[in-house]
Amino acid sequence: MTTADITVQHAVALSPAQISDVLQLINATAQADGTMPISEHVLLHLRQGGDAHGQHLLARDSDDHLVGYAHLDVTDTVQGASAEILVEPQRRREGVGRTMITALDDLVAGSRLRLWAHGEQPGARELAESLGFRSVRVLWQMRRSLLAALPRPVIPPGIEIRSFDPAADCDAWVALNARAFSNHPEQGGWTRADLDLRMSEPWFDPAGFLLATQVETGALVGFHWTKVHGFDPAEGHTHAHGHVQAHHSTHAASHTHAHEPIGEVYVVGVSPDYRGSGLGRALTILGLEHLRHLGLAQAMLYVDAGNTRAIRLYEGLGFARWDTDVMYQRQASANVR
């Protein structure tokens, strides 16, 4: 498939050379836009060549230089295939993105294609709308200063807080996560392999993975998994700070940060039996205290714009909207060439 000097290649798995090219493209895109152009889940697998369910499109110019990349996930047969696309900043508005979307349409063969746009980039919105896509989901990034006062955490009676033990807590956490997010297929569908993959990342720190357990039974009933990272686009991911020191990548040599290290409210989950008890709020505050004790100045989190209950909780703790990710979708009959 070509347009002008662009050729689009389809791959099920990526070679080390292709991985290096994609991570360099992510670096350039992130530096230009000030936001990560692709999701964490894709990045976790990307450095290993991809996962069994992902497919890749690589757009190259006549000099074999990578100018565009798309990741396609076809596992959701109900909602439709989803894709994430990035185009080299200096090659935007030349038809590269449109060509890759056309190639994605061909690959999904009539499925309702969905596109994620990370950050409110006007060009991404214009391209999506010009091809008949409409916004169907909005994800907020929220931030707050860790230098501002935090309220006192009120832990429900009969609950104690401790750190995650990788040798003993994995299976119990996977089970609780599934119950806590039973209505959220992405988060609630995590398996032990998904947990193991994240624990193998250099940013993983069990000291910042807080668990709430029942004193009498020891049962796991809630958690707050914090994450401390500085953006390292050359690696295509984050870069731990605090308990875990800087690391190096086999795919890129640069270790420049696009911003100072920042703490993240990565995941907060509570057993359905403890909803409304204040446990989620207490865990959130305790996690923020942990991030503050590491000497960090800011914390961030992601939340669905439609999750008004969670947004009220976070706004009550001093968070404010910072940026937005948008999912676009169109019906198969709306394909535009």
| pLDDT for the residue 55 | 92
Q: What is the 3-state secondary structure (H, E, C) of 129-193?
A: HHCCCEEEEEEEEEEEECCCCCCCCCCCCCEEEEECCCCCCHHHHHHHHHHHCCCCHHHHCCCHH
76, two tokens: 């959701």
Helix (H) and strand (E) counts in the chain: 9, 14
**How confident is the model over 222-262, as pLDDT tens digits?**
999 999 876 443 333 333 333 222 222 222 223 333 447 88
**2-139+327-334 matches 148-296 in fold:** yes
270, two tokens: 């509570």
Tokens 């720190």 correspond to: 205
Contact 269, 283 (CB under 8 A): no
Sequence-ordered list of residues with C-beta below 8 angstroms from that of 242, at least 6 positions apart, any chain: 205, 208, 228, 261, 294, 295, 296
Pick the range with the lowest mean pLDDT from 155-159, 182-186, 210-214, 239-243. Answer: 239-243
- Give the whole-angstrom CA distance, residue 150 versus residue 267: 19
Contact 146, 274 (CB under 8 A): no
| pLDDT for the residue 331 | 57
Residue 231: left if φ>0, alpha if ψ -120 to 50, beta else—which one?
Answer: beta
* 204: number of Cβ within 10 Å: 19
Q: Is residue 23 pLDDT above 50, yes or no?
A: yes
- For the chain, give every domain's residue range: 2-139+327-334, 148-296
Of the candidates 279, 240, 31, 36, which has an alpha carbon nearest to the alpha carbon of residue 139?
36
| Three-state DSSP state, 307 | coil
Mean pLDDT of 171-175: 98
Contact 37, 85 (CB under 8 A): no
Contact 53, 75 (CB under 8 A): yes
| pLDDT for the residue 147 | 95
Contact 131, 98 (CB under 8 A): yes
CA angle 224, 230, 231 (to 5 degrees): 110
Confidence bin at 110 (pLDDT 50/70/90): low
- Give the whole-angstrom CA distance, residue 133 versus residue 108: 15
Contact 232, 257 (CB under 8 A): yes
| pLDDT for the residue 240 | 35
Looking at per-residue pLDDT, the higher value among 257 and 68 belongs to 68
Looking at per-residue pLDDT, the higher value among 256 and 190 belongs to 190
Percent of the chain with pLDDT over 90: 62
Q: Is residue 66 pLDDT above 70, yes or no?
A: yes
Radius of gyration, CA atoms only, the chain = 21
Pick the range with the lowest mean pLDDT from 60-74, 116-130, 242-256, 303-317. Answer: 242-256
Confidence bin at 2 (pLDDT 50/70/90): very low
Confidence bin at 77 (pLDDT 50/70/90): low
Q: What is the mean pLDDT of the chain?
A: 85
| pLDDT for the residue 87 | 95
The secondary structure of residue 121, as a DSSP letter, is: -
| pLDDT for the residue 187 | 87
User: Regarding the domain delimited by 2-139+327-334, which CATH topology (the fold level of the hierarchy) does it fall under?
Assistant: Aminopeptidase (3.40.630)
- Give the whole-angstrom CA distance, residue 53 versus residue 128: 24
Q: Is residue 155 pLDDT above 70, yes or no?
A: yes
Contact 55, 72 (CB under 8 A): yes
Predicted TM-score (pTM) of the model is 0.73
**How confident is the model over 194-228, as pLDDT tens digits?**
999 899 988 899 999 999 999 999 999 999 999 98
- Give the whole-angstrom CA distance, residue 320 versus residue 34: 18
Classify domain 148-296 by CATH number. 3.40.630.30
Pick the range with the lowest mean pLDDT from 165-169, 174-178, 233-237, 324-328. Answer: 233-237
The secondary structure of residue 208, as a DSSP letter, is: G
Looking at per-residue pLDDT, the higher value among 92 and 36 belongs to 92
Mean pLDDT of 10-30: 93
